[in-house]
Amino acid sequence: MIEQTSFDAIYRPWSGNAAAMARDIAERSVTVSQWRYRGSIPPRYWQKIIAAAAVRGFALTVDDFVEHVVHASADTASATPASSDTSVQNVGQAL
């Protein structure tokens, strides 16, 4: 069974259909599809999405978006090695 994420909750009013969301918020379908692909929705769109979801009878809040951002950031941080900045090491070697 696939775990339900906050990102899934954001797309739920449109049954996961990016094109339907795009129509409701007057954005290009490819733009909304890319948000899902990247796993990130720019904050400037959050209020439009919240309002469009409300028209469909769903109550999204800014917290739904923030929860997704925090969750995604934690995933990225755990996947990034602590010493990933090799530029400092390269400068030291050049001296």
Nearest to 25 by CA among 36, 34, 14, 16: 14
Residue 33 domain-assigned?
A: yes
Residue 28 domain-assigned?
A: yes
In Å, how far from its chain's centre is CA 94? 39
Q: Which H or E run contains 81?
A: none
The counts of H helices and E strands in the chain are: 6, 0
In Å, how far from its chain's centre is CA 91? 35
Residue 17 domain-assigned?
A: yes
Per-residue pLDDT, 73: 54
Query: What residues make up the domain containing 21?
Result: 6-80
Per-residue pLDDT, 74: 53
pTM exceeds 0.85 for this model: no
Q: How many domains, in total, are found in the chain?
A: 1
Residue 24 domain-assigned?
A: yes
Nearest to 45 by CA among 58, 32, 64, 29: 32
Cα–Cα dist 52/27, whole Å: 12
Per-residue pLDDT, 65: 85
Low-confidence ranges of the chain (pLDDT < 70): 1-6, 68-95
Residue 85 domain-assigned?
A: no
